[in-house]
Amino acid sequence: MLRDISNSRKSYSKNSLIDKELPKDPFFLFDNWFKEVSSKKSKSEINAMTLSTIGLSGYPNGRIVLLKYYSPDGFVFFTNYNSNKAISIDQNNKVSISFFWEDFERQVIIKGVATKTTDDFSTKYFNSRPKGSKLGALVSENQSSIIKSKDYIIKKFNQLSKEYLNKEILRPNNWGGYIIKPVQYEFWQGGKNRLHDRIRYQLIDNLWKIDRLSP
């Protein structure tokens, strides 16, 4: 039996995207939006983004990861290089990331090419993490693999906690970052009567082409 949720909707009316105010470089629009969202108190993680890859099965896979750094050069996240997402990127490094900031009625979709960050960069970030997070990276040595039970990883965590009580935790070789270099941005701003603003930037011959899309 189908569950009817067809009446679940909301009206959007907080902001709009005005063509003459759009920057030539999409990074600056993203940066402005991110700073604006950051300035407001929110219970959600505003740096949470959906990373979509094409899996080995040919199906798209999406999962939430956390953005840790961003600049005009790209968007950086960290993961286990043995994970499904990393294996997918090794096979096809064309990926998509998307942000949804509900309080501002905004979404950003970014398509780009993912490459590994340098070892030094990954190590610098790893060393800044809380000790528990570092231990977690050791526990989940083969992320996405099948495990016996949750007790198994809890016992392993407790064991490593004792082992590294007074020892430095080094970054595992199978853990590090990716940087996604954008080739396309799409900015979505909710509008009245479903007349949403959709602005697409495409990188063509090192220049950003700007188009307004039908909602």
118-162 pLDDT, tens per residue?
999 999 999 999 999 999 999 987 888 888 899 989 999 999 999
Is residue 103 in a domain? yes
Residue 185 per-residue DSSP state: E
The answer to whether residue 109 sits within a structural domain is yes
Residue pLDDT, tens place only, 45-77: 999 999 999 988 899 999 999 999 999 999 999
Query: How does 3-37 read in b/e, with b if 16+ C-beta sit within 10 Å?
Result: eeeeeeeeebeeeebeeeebeeebbebbeebbeeb
Any domain includes 24: yes
Residue 102 is assigned to a structural domain of this protein: yes
Question: What is the total count of domains within the chain?
Answer: 1
Give domain status of residue 162, yes or no: no
pLDDT at 106 over 90: yes
Share of the chain above pLDDT 70, in %: 97
Q: Is residue 23 part of a domain?
A: yes
Question: By the 8 A CB rule, do 99 and 65 touch?
Answer: no
Both tokens of 174, joined, read: 């199978």
How is residue 13 written in tokens?
Answer: 């009316």
CATH number at residue 195: 2.30.110.10
Does the residue 206 lie in any domain?
yes
Please answer whether residues 129 and 136 qualify as being in contact, where contact means their C-beta atoms are separated by less than 8 angstroms.
no
Q: Which residues are catalytic?
A: 194
Q: Kindly report the length of the chain.
A: 215
Mean pLDDT (whole number) for 165-171? 94
In terms of residue numbers, what domain contains 33? 19-127+174-212
The answer to whether residue 140 sits within a structural domain is no
Contact call for residues 101 and 169 (beta carbons, < 8 A): no
